[in-house]
Structure 1
Amino acid sequence: MTRGGDYADVLVAGAGPAGCAAALTLAATGADVVLAHRPHPRQWHVGESLAPTARPLLDRLGILDRVASHGHEPWYGTRSVWGDSTLTASDFIGGPYGPGWLLDRRAFDVSLRDAAREAGVRRHDGSVTAVSRVGQLWRVSMSGTEVVVRYLLDATGASARVARRLGAHVVATDHLVAIAAVLCGRTPAGDTGSGAERTSLVESAPFGWWYTAPLPGGRTIVMAVTDADLVAPTGLRHPAGWWEALTATHQVRTRTCVRGNRPPQRLAVLRAGTSCTSPTAGPGWAAVGDAATATDPVAARGITAALATGVSAGSAVAADAQGDEDALTRYAELTTAVHTEFLRARTACYRAEGRWTGPFWTRRRRDPHASP
């Protein structure tokens, strides 16, 4: 298709990791790509770490060196208190890819968008407001502008706003939320349990579980993870109740209740539920990232999965454009199969914690294909 202001080969709606990965993959094939992005500042993200398994994906996208040199801290592994009171370790040392990263998410996302721009991807500051099919093309309205494209990729997050406009539906498995704060207190001298050790920590609790990890700049992110309907009964919505629950932990308290830290003045409630869009692709379109499959953050795979689906969908679109009529169907089947396997693994993970009997835990010990 001829490059121009009103036409493009592909429109990617959403400029997070999944959307940028798809745009970079397609730009590498010579496609004319428009990346639609509506800025909406967020102070925190549910996912602040990037697993070592993302390295091959970043390398394929040509941005591994950019990410590695962008000031993110190394992530050496995970500590967990799960199933009993023992602190266990899962380290990346000796693995094939080396350490992961504890991200400055804002800087990470900006670097991906900059890479896409440098690769020739055009950016539009706005969101998709209407979509219609015109023969084999899409006519897309975006905040007062109209563009005609051959392919449309939905990277709008778990809401899958574009895919739902095309007839897909989102199947939610739960309504998980993370109540998050960023703490900035100084660590007491000699405290080796601080965030400075560059590992993340997960600790189960009667209402769900806690997550904490160091962030660049000496900060620490701390999240209480539970179901949306359990936030009020547990008192986690208010800083005082959240802090009281934190001080009842063992390992998380050791890391976070340090000199200078006090109950946070405010909390962010972030959506973290598991869901899958059905279907995840169709003629001329595909969903990527959380718009395709959103997974429980206990798996610590959100950003890596976003990059992977972006690369896979971009490759499927390129193959379809070359005449492979089954490419998008294969992509849809693959994402559905991966999500189904994740549900099984998630159930096994939660069943391994048998100390708690509250509603959060009983819900997750059910068959993964049971109704929400």
Structure 2
Amino acid sequence: MRRNGPTTRPGRPGSGGSSGCGRSRRFDVLVAGAGPAGCAAALPLVRAGASVVLVSPRTSPDWRVGESLAPTARPLLERLGALDGLADDGHAPCYGNQAAWGQDALTAVDHGLGPYGEGWHLDRTRFDAALLEATRAGGALWHAGHVRDARRHRSRWQITTGEGDVLEASHLVDATGRAARLARRVGAGRTRSDRLIAVAALLGPPKQAARPDRTSLVQATRWGWWYTAPLPGGERVLMAMTDADLLPGVRLLDPDVWWAQAQCAGHIRERIAGREQPPRRLRVFAAGSACATPAAGPGWVAVGDAATATDPLAARGIVTALATGLVGARAILAAEGGDTDAMAAYARRMTAVHAEYLEARAAQYRREQRWDTPFWDRRH
């Protein structure tokens, strides 16, 4: 792989700067998506001497689901050289998780008892921006846009963006999230295990100052379950989780009903006490389990949710994004070094990882046996 040549310096997404590709249109690796998975793949590649471009939209959502980061992310962030900056970037500590699951009383997992110490409650937009900035500082370029088409021409890919630009690369990395747009474009399938949906809102700070809690909370209900976690600055994320076809019956898309249901969940009600009610806007996200089949092929790999998307109950989304990004980059380097089985081995590994996750998810849902309702019957 060749070293990055002189190009125009990319601008930060949303900053109005240059798209970053300059005169160069040929790269060793094109990464579609610039979240944690895409950055985790790009950083090892540029450090190995590859020319890498990340393609992602100029603007990003004002907030993202996935605000709690498990302590197991520490060694991954350290490998990426991003651990020290995380501590100084305004994120709040997460001391553990609590759950009313299988019983009314809360059980707790204390991160302080684990090998890696505390986790984090993230300002997710700031976290993603810092990872992208570290990736750009390492030598990767950023191109504003999205991948519309990718076609194989001999040993290289020709990629067309939605803005009409044409880029070339020897290898592709799909980091487009649950949509897996690039993997599906080059022929991969998408196997879904359920239709879990998150109906979420950001709650503002409480009207009266209170001692902040530093744990996330899950509480099971007849129709699914609730999740809440504090955010830096006093805000809180609150999400109701159920299946897509059950939404009309529970009426969770109505903010008043959504808020009333939250008040019926005692532990949740305690966490959201004193906040403005109800929220004016709810957001709906796909949260089901799915995997790419396969997760890699000649000249391409899928990483993060594009490879293996997991139930938020597993609390492993960002950790999996970082880990698969690093492993995907290693597979590309191995293939470039002559290992003809590297991509197939990566695909087999992702299949095994997802199968292990599905077994763990099934065991966790079996622990909740209080209700004989469609949501739980499907998981038993």
Distance 1:243 1:148 in 2: 49
The alignment status of 1:256 with 2:272, answered yes or no, reads: yes
How many angstroms does 1:94 deviate by?
2.5
Work out the percentage of aligned pairs sharing the same amino acid. 51
Q: 2:52 aligns with which of 21, 30, 33?
A: 33
Partner residue, 1:109:
128
Q: 2:345 aligns with which of 326, 330, 337?
A: 330
Distance 1:205 1:44 in 2: 26
The alignment status of 1:197 with 2:207, answered yes or no, reads: no
How many angstroms does 1:188 deviate by?
5.1
The alignment status of 1:64 with 2:83, answered yes or no, reads: yes
Deviates more, 1:328-337 or 1:199-208: 328-337
How many angstroms does 1:187 deviate by?
6.2
User: Could you list the per-position Cα deviations for residues 157-181 of structure 1 after superposition, in whole angstroms to 9, with x for gaps in the alignment?
Assistant: 1111111111101111111111111
The alignment status of 1:230 with 2:246, answered yes or no, reads: yes
Partner residue, 1:168:
188
Partner residue, 1:351:
366
Partner residue, 2:178:
158
Partner residue, 1:49:
68
Distance 2:192 2:198 in 1: 16
The alignment status of 1:21 with 2:40, answered yes or no, reads: yes
Distance 1:188 1:204 in 2: 28
Distance 1:232 1:215 in 2: 30
Partner residue, 1:212:
228
How many angstroms does 1:81 deviate by?
0.1
Distance 1:84 1:114 in 2: 44
Structure 1 38/316 Cα, relative in aligned 2: closer, same or farther at 3 Å? same
Q: Secondary structure at the match of 1:158?
A: helix
Q: Secondary structure at the match of 2:372?
A: coil
Q: Secondary structure at the match of 1:244?
A: helix
| Contact map agreement 1:45 1:270 (CA 8 A) in 2 | no
Distance 1:340 1:39 in 2: 35
Q: Which runs of 4+ in 1 moved over 6 A?
A: none
Structure 1, unmatched stretches of 5+, are 366-372
Distance 2:204 2:354 in 1: 36
How many angstroms does 1:321 deviate by?
0.8
Distance 1:356 1:333 in 2: 37
Supply the AA of the counterpart residue of 1:323. G
| Contact map agreement 2:197 2:241 (CA 8 A) in 1 | yes
Distance 1:62 1:5 in 2: 27
How many angstroms does 1:43 deviate by?
3.3
**TM-score normalised according to structure 2 size:** 0.92
| Contact map agreement 1:10 1:149 (CA 8 A) in 2 | yes
| Contact map agreement 2:242 2:375 (CA 8 A) in 1 | yes
Matches within 5 A, 1:119-130: 119-130=138-149
Structure 2, unmatched stretches of 5+, are 6-22
How many angstroms does 1:261 deviate by?
2.5
How many angstroms does 1:352 deviate by?
0.4
The alignment status of 1:302 with 2:321, answered yes or no, reads: no
Partner residue, 1:270:
285
Partner residue, 1:362:
377
* Alignment RMSD (CA, Å): 1.3
Distance 1:187 1:273 in 2: 35
User: Could you list the per-position Cα deviations for residues 142-166 of structure 1 after superposition, in whole angstroms to 9, with x for gaps in the alignment?
Assistant: 2221111110110111111111111
Distance 2:30 2:337 in 1: 18
User: Could you list the per-position Cα deviations for residues 206-258 of structure 1 after superposition, in whole angstroms to 9, with x for gaps in the alignment?
Assistant: 11000001000001111101111111210210110001100101101011022
User: Could you list the per-position Cα deviations for residues 62-114 of structure 1 after superposition, in whole angstroms to 9, with x for gaps in the alignment?
Assistant: 11111121110001100100001111110111211110110000000100110
Partner residue, 1:86:
105
Partner residue, 1:370:
none
Supply the AA of the counterpart residue of 2:220. S
Q: Secondary structure at the match of 2:178?
A: coil
Distance 1:255 1:6 in 2: 51
**TM-score normalised according to structure 1 size:** 0.94
Distance 1:131 1:62 in 2: 31
Distance 1:135 1:303 in 2: 35
Partner residue, 1:140:
159
Supply the AA of the counterpart residue of 2:41. A
Supply the AA of the counterpart residue of 1:197. D
| Contact map agreement 1:44 1:268 (CA 8 A) in 2 | no
| Contact map agreement 1:180 1:224 (CA 8 A) in 2 | yes
Distance 2:66 2:249 in 1: 25
